[in-house]
């Protein structure tokens, strides 16, 4: 380890010396890019010197830094959905310029949707990453007429789901717990309202969404599969704005504006379900769901170099029945951030983050009083520093630590409770994004992560038959640890101005997992469990490559292939008991898994009609001793064929229509093939693990959006109507198998379906 760190220090010194040598002959243009009306920063905006075609993009806080030679320069600033701004400067010293750009006007007689080619070149080093526009998300058909970020992510190529209404995402062969889902850097451990029908992300509160499907940058870690990074809106620093909306299932209200004009701002948004306000559990509706969520954010400039942010998310769900069933769950997060641009080339961000997920389940009637609680609390501190050496050459370094407090499961009966676990998770990373020659871009780095089980703890030692034979105890200090070196590299080789080949490799380590029946299409009861003396962390190696081609400003083509190899993949023995079981680790078996796939996408990004057609073929397998007799079997989310079409037609400035058609192979399932008797009790006999499949899944969604003519720059109304599952396809969520009375092995099958067809609407007012 000492040799590795010595090498890194030498490398940084050499890099720094070369940067100083370069900077002696050049000057730096830096600043922020913001919305002219609201003052809110624009993430991923492009800043380009047009004469020499040198450029960069703004970071997660809207900051950019561009190294240029002395003299006259023409600077172009552009962002999707905004007018471009061009200025001429005479660079004689390091200067800072903050750019304010306006949204494109919609008051046009001839309406076309146009993608800004300069903001999405095929030569960018980003790989397997999607930026999602909130404007585009709002036009997509949805279940209840509400724009939904998670549902929009589920439409991306390589993202699988297991049924209608599920917020579970299985990305390129990974499990739903292998996705790092964050809002303003704080992890969200359950992204679902109403069992997955609606996600926890209120679209009125979100400014920007990035999806990394496998090759996540080195600053992200702790998950094996993907990253979903959501940034909350900051609020206008210039004027007050209000909006409210209503759909069949919820009502929302938002407000934002300056605390001190052009210095500080606030944003607040709240959303509440309607079902529980209109009815209560009864004979006609035995089960009534309810939810709410609140987003709050304040930020303030301190001089021209410092900025403070404080954001809060709180969301809760409740499900109650007339027969004594009660379940409540929710997430709470808080993030404090201080960022500072130190000089013109160095940008630093310090974050203090907390996250709290809890889940409480209760059955209570005349004969029983059953309670079960599970959850996870985090405190996280981290520092990230970016050094902008020159265009297409930046260095990023970060360090962080997380304190985890796990509540795997507690019952009134202490003998059925799972002991609490405390842990520390540490990380250090360094990454370098550079373009050593004109046709080659490289983004490489290394992440070093560690995990320590600490404090007072009780755990069990198991024999070769997975039977607990000894109880272990720890009073204080570290009693178990893991660490992992996670190298990451991606190469972008330009073939010509319109084509590039990209290659990538990454190793990811994940130290916490969900113990849950993943075959369910949706569930609220999730038990997060850490690596410990009995369960090792998941390690995955990911290889990917792709060809990206831009035919013109209208059409583009992408083809990607990937392979993933997992170590320490967990699964459960048949009939595993995952609740009220202090010996739950004895139900777990460990082995390997692998996934591979091919994804093809054709996009139309210009004109009145825009959309894309995609097809993916993928496979995911597991091999675990003592499961399926040690033979390879399909993972629960092995869905080979996936075909999708999305379309959006802008009829006029007021009317827009959109549609989605999805076709997927049926997911694997283990089905009973007969029964045997223990006394008078029938016991099912199951087939091999995941050897059967659900029927193929397909559906059509249609939506239309009407936006009234703006009476001024900020006052307008939007009405959305649509149909979910337009041709009433009965896609099964699950099955119940019951032995036919009077027979020994004949089975009756009952299918559960969420919706056959669901009309929806929503209305939103902005003023």
Query: Which pLDDT does position 23 carry in this prediction?
Result: 40
Which is more confident, 747 or 393? 393
- Residue 393, both tokens: 């050459």
3-state class of 17 per DSSP?
helix
Query: Which pLDDT does position 144 carry in this prediction?
Result: 67
- Can you spell out the DSSP letters for 692-703? EEPPPEEEEEEE
* CATH of 2-104 given 2.60.40.1120, 2.70.160.11, 3.40.50.720, 3.40.630.30: 2.60.40.1120
Q: What element of type H or E holds 144? A: none
Q: Which are the contacts of 612, defined by CB distance < 8 A and separation ≥ 6?
A: 601, 602, 603, 604, 645, 646
- Residue 651, both tokens: 């009829």
**CA–CA–CA angle 90, 94, 95 (5° rounding):** 70
Query: Which pLDDT does position 259 carry in this prediction?
Result: 93
pLDDT, tens digit, 9 for 90 and up, residues 547-601? 999 888 789 999 999 999 999 999 888 777 777 788 888 888 999 999 999 999 9
Dist CA 381 CA 120 (whole Å): 33
Dist CA 382 CA 335 (whole Å): 11
Nearest to 158 by CA among 731, 669, 560: 560
Query: Which pLDDT does position 115 carry in this prediction?
Result: 46
Dist CA 499 CA 497 (whole Å): 6
Domain limits of the chain?
2-104, 184-766
Query: Which pLDDT does position 283 carry in this prediction?
Result: 63
Question: Poorest-confidence range of 3-12, 84-93, 172-181, 300-309?
Answer: 3-12
Which is more confident, 391 or 115? 391
Instruction: Output the average pLDDT for the chain.
Output: 84
The long-range contacts involving 587-592, CB below 8 angstroms and separated by at least 24 positions, are 587/466, 588/515, 588/534, 588/535, 589/624, 589/625, 589/626, 589/627, 590/535, 590/536, 590/624, 591/622, 591/623, 591/624, 591/625, 591/627, 592/565, 592/566, 592/567, 592/622, 592/623, 592/624
How much of the chain exceeds pLDDT 90, in percent? 39
Residues 338/342/348/352 CA torsion (nearest 10 deg): -20
pLDDT, tens digit, 9 for 90 and up, residues 169-201? 899 999 889 999 999 999 999 888 877 778 889
Query: Which pLDDT does position 155 carry in this prediction?
Result: 86
Residue 455, phi then psi, degrees to nearest 5: 80, -165
Q: Which are the contacts of 525, defined by CB distance < 8 A and separation ≥ 6?
A: 327, 329, 359, 361, 372, 374, 516, 579
Dist CA 378 CA 177 (whole Å): 16
Contact between 165 and 754 (Cβ < 8 Å): yes
Fold (CATH) for 184-766: Maltoporin; Chain A (2.40.170)
Mean pLDDT, residues 707-735 taken together: 79
Mean pLDDT, residues 733-746 taken together: 70
N- to C-terminal Cα separation, the chain: 59
Nearest to 159 by CA among 605, 661, 648, 618: 618
CB count within 10 Å of CB 67 equals 25
**CA–CA–CA angle 224, 228, 233 (5° rounding):** 155
Contact between 329 and 290 (Cβ < 8 Å): no
């Amino acid at each position: 380890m000492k040799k590795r760190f010595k090498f890194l220090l030498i490398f940084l010194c050499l890099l720094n010396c070369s940067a100083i040598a370069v900077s002696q002959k050049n000057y730096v243009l830096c600043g922020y890019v913001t919305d002219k009306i609201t003052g809110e920063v624009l993430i991923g905006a492009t800043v380009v010197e047009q004469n020499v075609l040198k450029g960069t993009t703004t970071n997660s806080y809207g900051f950019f830094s561009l190294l240029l030679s002395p003299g006259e320069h023409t600077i172009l600033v552009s962002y999707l959905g905004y007018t471009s701004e061009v200025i001429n400067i005479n660079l004689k010293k390091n200067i800072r310029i903050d750019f304010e750009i306006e949204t494109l006007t919609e008051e046009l007689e001839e309406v076309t949707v146009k993608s800004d080619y300069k903001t999405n070149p095929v030569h960018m080093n980003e790989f397997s990453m999607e930026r999602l526009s909130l404007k585009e998300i709002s036009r997509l058909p949805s279940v209840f007429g509400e724009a939904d970020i998670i549902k929009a992510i589920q439409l991306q190529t390589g993202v699988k789901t297991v049924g209608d209404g599920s917020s579970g995402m299985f990305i390129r062969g990974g499990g739903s717990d292998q996705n790092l889902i964050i809002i303003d850097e704080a992890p969200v451990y359950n992204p679902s309202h109403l069992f997955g029908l609606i996600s926890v992300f209120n679209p009125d509160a979100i400014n920007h969404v990035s999806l990394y499907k496998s090759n996540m940058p080195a600053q992200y870690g702790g998950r094996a599969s993907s990253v979903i990074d959501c940034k909350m809106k900051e609020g206008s620093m210039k004027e007050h704005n209000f909006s409210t909306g209503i759909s069949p299932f919820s009502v929302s209200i938002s407000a934002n504006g300056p605390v001190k004009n052009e210095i500080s701002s606030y944003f607040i948004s709240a959303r509440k379900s309607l079902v529980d306000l209109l009815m209560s559990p009864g004979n006609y509706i035995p089960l009534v769901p309810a939810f709410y969520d609140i987003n709050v954010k304040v930020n303030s400039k301190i001089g021209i170099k410092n900025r403070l942010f404080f954001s809060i998310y709180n969301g809760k769900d409740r499900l109650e029945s007339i027969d004594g069933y009660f379940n409540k769950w929710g997430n709470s997060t808080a993030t404090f951030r201080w960022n500072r641009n130190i000089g013109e080339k160095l940008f630093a961000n310090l974050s203090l983050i907390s996250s709290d997920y809890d889940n409480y389940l209760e059955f209570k009637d005349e004969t029983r009083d059953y309670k079960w609680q599970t959850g996870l609390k985090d405190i996280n501190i981290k520092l990230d520093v970016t050094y902008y050496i020159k265009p297409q050459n930046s260095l990023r370094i970060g360090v962080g630590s997380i304190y985890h407090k796990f509540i795997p499961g507690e019952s009134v009966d202490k003998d059925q409770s799972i002991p609490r676990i405390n842990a520390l998770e540490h990380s250090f990373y360094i990454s370098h994004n550079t373009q050593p020659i004109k046709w080659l871009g490289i983004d490489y780095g290394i992440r070093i992560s560690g995990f320590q089980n600490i404090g007072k703890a009780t755990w069990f030692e198991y024999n070769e038959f997975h039977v607990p034979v000894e109880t272990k105890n720890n009073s204080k200090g570290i009693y178990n640890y893991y660490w992992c070196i996670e190298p990451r590299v991606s190469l972008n080789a330009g073939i010509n101005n319109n084509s590039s080949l990209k290659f990538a490799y990454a190793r990811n380590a994940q130290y916490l997992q969900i113990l849950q029946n993943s075959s369910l299409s949706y569930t609220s009861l999730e038990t997060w469990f850490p690596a410990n003396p009995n369960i090792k962390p998941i390690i995955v190696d990911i290889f990917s490559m792709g060809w990206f081609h831009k035919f013109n400003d209208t059409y583009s083509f992408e083809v990607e292939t990937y392979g993933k190899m997992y170590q320490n993949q967990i699964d459960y023995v048949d009939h595993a008991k995952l609740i009220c079981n202090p010996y739950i680790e004895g139900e777990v078996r460990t082995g390997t898994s692998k996934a591979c796939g091919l994804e093809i996408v054709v996009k139309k990004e210009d004109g009145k009609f825009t959309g894309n057609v995609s097809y993916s073929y993928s496979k995911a397998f597991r091999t675990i001793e003592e499961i399926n007799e040690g033979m390879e079997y399909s993972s629960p989310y092995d869905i080979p064929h996936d075909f999708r079409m999305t379309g959006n037609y802008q009829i006029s400035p007021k009317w827009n229509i959109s549609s989605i058609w999805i076709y997927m192979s049926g997911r694997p399932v283990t089905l009973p093939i007969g029964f045997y008797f223990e006394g008078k009790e029938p016991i099912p006999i199951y087939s091999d693990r995941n050897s059967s499949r659900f029927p193929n899944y397909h559906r059509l969604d249609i939506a239309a959006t009407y936006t009234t003519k703006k009476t001024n720059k900020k006052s307008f109304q939007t009405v959305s109507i649509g149909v979910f599952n337009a041709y009433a396809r009965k896609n099964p969520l699950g099955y119940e198998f019951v032995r036919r009375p009077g027979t020994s092995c004949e089975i009756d099958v009952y299918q559960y379906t969420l919706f056959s067809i669901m009309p929806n609407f929503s209305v939103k007012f902005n003023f």
